[in-house]
Amino acid sequence: MQELDPQPAIRVNNLVVGFGRHVVIDHLSLEVRRGEILGMVGASGGGKSVLMRSIIGLIPRQGGEIEVMGATITGAHDRSTQHAAGSWGVLFQQGALFSSLTARQNIQFPLRENLVLSEALMDEIATAKLEMVGLTAEDGDKFPAELSGGMTKRVALARALALDPAIVFLDEPTSGLDPIAAGEFDVLIKTLQQTLGLTVFMVTHDLASLNTVCDRVAALADGKIVAIGPMRDLLQSQHPWVRAYFHGKRSQMLQPQAS
């Protein structure tokens, strides 16, 4: 296993996020190490997406501190957050490609927003990103409606990688994919982590992803991280929700990795 940087990529301290009286994140603290793939699990509606969106400054918080690559995150329009935003890419839950743009144009979107580059260079970058996620230059000419679910996820990942981020946030990247496509996507994420040194924050319900690609897994329950560590540690956790999640009927197919 690669050596991890002791200075975390993401540091969340005592975070509180809610909507009106509904507290979703309740004094949560978490560190994501540089270069690791951290899987985030939790009940549906438990706050995983809210946590991810808070970290990247899209949802305001009521308390606590967030740092990403050493930069303090306040609000989406804050200068420090905007500067830090260059260090991350995001794959939202639905892929969220612009339907009127080709795959290539979708990948180029962040480049156009943030940089001044020639069309030729932008085409070159888009082709490189397409290849990086296992697609061809020809796939770049397709519109989202012409892509399979797996291809859509790959294009969305290529777009998240457009600005060469240090961190990628993935919100349920394998949802809706068949097990083979999901497995291929897992391999892709692991390969990108290893070749690019990426830090990956991955919200997922996919037990196979947790077991095969995540260096550590964090469990969110009652607005807090109630367990965090390698998968084998989570399987030993005595926390009632974590036990129910990993030892329930749906988890029987889980094959823990040998330590």
Ligand X SMILES: Nc1ncnc2c1ncn2[C@@H]1O[C@H](COP(=O)(O)OP(=O)(O)OP(=O)(O)O)[C@@H](O)[C@H]1O
Contacting positions for ligand X (CB under 6 A): 19, 24, 42, 44-50
Q: Give the largest CA-CA distance in the chain.
A: 56
Please, which residue, 42 or 144, has the CB nearer to ligand X?
A: 42
Question: What is the nearest approach in angstroms of ligand X to the Cβ of residue 219?
Answer: 11
Q: Please give the Cα distance from 166 to 32 (Å, whole number).
A: 12
Please, which residue, 6 or 20, has the CB nearer to ligand X?
A: 20
| Cβ-based neighbours of 5, under 8 Å, separated by 6 or more | 33, 34, 35
Question: What is the nearest approach in angstroms of ligand X to the Cβ of residue 241?
Answer: 12
Positive or negative, the Cα torsion across 129, 135, 140, 143?
negative
The H-assigned helical ranges of 213-252 are 231-236, 240-247
The H-assigned helical ranges of 133-230 are 149-160, 179-196, 207-212
Question: What is the nearest approach in angstroms of ligand X to the Cβ of residue 131?
Answer: 31
Q: Please give the Cα distance from 108 to 159 (Å, whole number).
A: 7
Strand 63-68, strand 167-171: pairing: unpaired
Question: What is the nearest approach in angstroms of ligand X to the Cβ of residue 45?
Answer: 4
Question: What is the nearest approach in angstroms of ligand X to the Cβ of residue 176?
Answer: 13
Question: What is the nearest approach in angstroms of ligand X to the Cβ of residue 24?
Answer: 4
Please, which residue, 19 or 120, has the CB nearer to ligand X?
A: 19
Strand, helix or coil at 48?
Answer: helix
32: Cα within 13 Å, side-chain hemisphere: 28
Question: What is the nearest approach in angstroms of ligand X to the Cβ of residue 53?
Answer: 8
Closest by CA to 158, choosing from 109, 226, 229, is 109
Q: Please give the Cα distance from 169 to 179 (Å, whole number).
A: 21
Please, which residue, 38 or 126, has the CB nearer to ligand X?
A: 38
Please, which residue, 35 or 47, has the CB nearer to ligand X?
A: 47
Whole-Å CA distances, 135 to 61, 98, 148, 150, 202: 38, 18, 12, 11, 22
CB-based contact 73:80 (threshold 8 Å): yes
Please, which residue, 48 or 159, has the CB nearer to ligand X?
A: 48
Please, which residue, 125 or 177, has the CB nearer to ligand X?
A: 177
